[in-house]
């Protein structure tokens, strides 16, 4: 099993269509789950794909359009039936607190856990969240409402010592600890042991970028350069470029262009317009310029490698 992976729960734009649900995703890092957006029907998808919802610690909301938040009241109030006791954190743009508070208050809902809601200005790129596993930065997107993309980056991992060196140099417990902590060991005879010679090379932290909803915006490329996986909305196929711009969305080829320019490892498509019953062309079109495109499908799991 991968330790870092993404499950898509909803891939539809604006409304449920052809069995597809509006946007929601679950990012898993070891046993911690992070939800991204919460469109209508997210609870149905959580059950269908057997997601352990009590493991969700944080919900990130990109913007306040209904197809990204109309599932939220149901998800946060139904934890009562799942005996949740751990706190839940919602992070989103300005207005999300009023929305959540109003839903809870007007529906007379009781929560059996602590709910924290934190608002950020979606127009500023900034660190939104950090824990022992991940840090999350926002990326302002150009859309009809203030909208942010998210870049999830794993925290630097402790270095791994080459086992053959332990015996070769007769390393003590303390020396091993020091080298793993990336520090130089100075021995009694004055000789030094350098961490780079004793550890395996540092692995680059893996990153996942979520970019929805947005127009085609090449200025996003810099922030997601060499990202392992990027989800970029593809509301329309290539022949609908004009409509995409008008409604502040993107097409298949525009998303693929971003992935190419950023040298991304993988592109996942999604946020499909309800005009498309068959979505296979999204993958075909993207692959004409970016081969490692994976069609975004609900219930499919994508490793962040
Ligand atoms: Zn949307
Ligand atoms: Zn939107």
Q: What CATH number does the domain containing 97 carry?
A: 3.60.15.10
Q: Are residues 87 and 228 in the same domain?
A: yes
- Pick from 243, 273, 269: nearest CA to 256: 269
Total number of domains in the chain: 2
What b-and-e string marks burial along 24-43, b requiring 16 or more CB atoms within 10 Å of the CB?
Answer: bbbbbbeeebbbbbbbbbbb
- Please, is 119 exposed, middle or buried when counting C-beta atoms within 10 Å of its C-beta (0-12, 13-18, 19+)? middle
In the three-class reduction of DSSP (H, G, I as helix; E, B as strand; rest coil), residue 167 is classed as: helix
Q: Are residues 207 and 112 in the same domain?
A: yes
Q: Are residues 171 and 150 in the same domain?
A: no
Domain that holds residue 188: 163-198
Q: Are residues 191 and 213 in the same domain?
A: no
Q: Are residues 146 and 238 in the same domain?
A: yes
Q: Are residues 55 and 183 in the same domain?
A: no
The pLDDT assigned to 80 comes to 87
Q: Are residues 133 and 208 in the same domain?
A: yes
The pLDDT assigned to 2 comes to 84
The alpha carbon of 67 and the centre of ligand 2 are apart by a number of angstroms equal to: 7
In tens digits, the chain (305 residues) has pLDDT values of 789 999 999 999 988 999 999 999 999 999 999 999 999 999 999 999 999 999 999 999 999 999 999 999 999 999 989 999 999 999 999 999 999 999 999 999 999 999 999 999 999 999 999 999 999 999 999 999 999 999 999 998 888 899 999 999 999 999 999 999 899 999 999 999 999 999 998 889 999 999 999 999 999 999 999 999 999 999 999 999 999 999 999 999 999 999 999 999 999 999 999 999 999 999 999 999 999 999 999 999 999 99
Q: Are residues 179 and 122 in the same domain?
A: no
**Tokens encoding 298:** 């609900």
The pLDDT assigned to 139 comes to 98
Instruction: Please state, as a whole number, how many other Cβ atoms lie within 10 Å of the Cβ of residue 276.
Output: 19
Cβ pair 61, 25 in contact under 8 A:
no
Q: How many CA atoms lie within 13 A of 109 on its CB side?
A: 21
The alpha carbon of 67 and the centre of ligand 1 are apart by a number of angstroms equal to: 5
Out of 181, 198, 215, pick the residue that ends a domain: 198
- Please list the alpha-helical segments (H only) found in 64-219: 66-69, 72-77, 96-106, 163-169, 173-180, 195-198
Helices and strands (H, E) in the chain, number of each type: 10, 16
The alpha carbon of 288 and the centre of ligand 1 are apart by a number of angstroms equal to: 25
> Rounded to an integer, what distance in angstroms lies between the CA atom of residue 151 and that of residue 59?
14
pTM of the model: 0.93
Q: Are residues 169 and 142 in the same domain?
A: no
The alpha carbon of 191 and the centre of ligand 2 are apart by a number of angstroms equal to: 61
Catalytic residue from among 32, 67, 101, 196? 67
Q: Are residues 140 and 55 in the same domain?
A: yes
The pLDDT assigned to 8 comes to 98
The pLDDT assigned to 191 comes to 94
The pLDDT assigned to 59 comes to 98
Cβ pair 88, 114 in contact under 8 A:
yes
Q: Are residues 139 and 171 in the same domain?
A: no
The alpha carbon of 47 and the centre of ligand 2 are apart by a number of angstroms equal to: 25
Q: Are residues 25 and 64 in the same domain?
A: yes
Residue 196 a catalytic site member: no
- Pick from 125, 140, 134: nearest CA to 152: 134
């Amino acid at each position: 099993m991968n330790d870092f992976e993404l499950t898509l729960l909803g891939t539809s734009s604006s409304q449920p269509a052809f069995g597809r649900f509006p946007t929601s995703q679950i990012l898993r890092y070891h046993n911690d789950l992070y939800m991204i957006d919460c469109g209508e029907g997210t609870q149905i998808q959580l059950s269908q794909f057997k997601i352990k919802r009590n493991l969700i610690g944080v919900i990130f909301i990109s913007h306040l359009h209904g197809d990204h938040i109309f599932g939220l009241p149901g998800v946060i109030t139904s934890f009562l039936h799942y005996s949740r006791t751990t706190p839940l954190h919602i992070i989103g743009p300005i207005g999300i607190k009023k929305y959540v508070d109003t839903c809870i208050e007007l529906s007379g809902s009781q929560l059996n856990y602590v709910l924290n809601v934190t608002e950020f200005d979606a127009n500023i790129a900034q660190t939104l969240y950090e824990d022992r596993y991940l840090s999350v930065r926002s990326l302002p997107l150009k859309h009809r409402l203030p909208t942010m993309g998210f870049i999830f980056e794993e925290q630097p991992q402790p270095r791994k010592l080459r086992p053959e060196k332990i015996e070769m140099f007769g390393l003590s417990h303390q020396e091993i600890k020091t080298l793993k902590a990336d520090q130089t060991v100075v021995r009694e005879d004055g000789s030094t042991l350098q961490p780079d010679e004793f550890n395996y090379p540092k692995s680059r932290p893996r990153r996942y970028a979520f970019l929805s909803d947005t127009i085609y915006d090449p200025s996003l490329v810099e922030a997601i350069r060499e990202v392992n996986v990027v989800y970029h909305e593809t509301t329309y196929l290539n022949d609908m470029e004009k409509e995409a711009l008008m409604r502040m969305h993107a097409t298949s080829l525009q998303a693929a262009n971003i992935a190419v320019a950023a040298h991304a490892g993988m592109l996942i498509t999604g946020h499909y317009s309800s005009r498309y019953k068959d979505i296979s062309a999204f993958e075909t079109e993207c692959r004409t310029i970016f081969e490692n495109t994976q069609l975004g499908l609900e219930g499919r799991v994508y490793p962040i490698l």
